[in-house]
Amino acid sequence: MQTLAITLFFFFGGETNEEWLIDYDVQVQGPRMVYEGTALLHMTQTQPAPCMSYCFEVPEGYRLAGPVVSSDPGEPIIGFDWYDYTGKDLDVIWCRNASDLMHLPVSVPRHFKFYLLRTSFGPDDVIKLLADWGSDTSPWDLDLDGTVNGADLAVLLNGWSSDEGTA
């Protein structure tokens, strides 16, 4: 069995200010976009309790999901203190307080990983899903249970939107 995962595009995102830095990569793999990165909260003597707020835009036709390896399979690995997913945006906040044992200045990393999965499919997508049938490493694992199988086909058919293929 051959597994083919094609990365359609790859880009970097991120922003910074005095209190924090966020850096992440986004890869498009078949029907999903994988966001993976790190946020650094910078603690100093003058700012021992920095907070960071960031908004990830969720493109139309996608939904928030997470990798199978998550402690809660299918849910995002988001080490955020707070997040709100509205369907159009994923707003996140991190806050940290320096402990008495820390030598300031210090930057504290917070790692995250989440997927955005397409919600509409066409005939070309059936072929791609079936080509990865039984795979445990395919982006066509739409229900995020670890294997491409009938449950993923059901998700695809539930999101059927056209008789024309989808890239």
Domain residue spans in the chain? Answer: 7-119, 120-167
Class of domain 120-167: mainly alpha
CATH, range 7-119 = 2.60.40
| % the chain with pLDDT above 70 | 82
Distance, in Å, from the CA atom of 85 to the CA atom of 102, rounded to the nearest integer, reads 33
Residue 80 near residue 71, CB atoms below 8 Å = no
pLDDT for residue 4: 38
Distance, in Å, from the CA atom of 157 to the CA atom of 159, rounded to the nearest integer, reads 5
pLDDT tens digits for range 24-33: 999 999 999 9
pLDDT for residue 132: 97
Residue 17 near residue 54, CB atoms below 8 Å = no
Distance, in Å, from the CA atom of 133 to the CA atom of 152, rounded to the nearest integer, reads 9
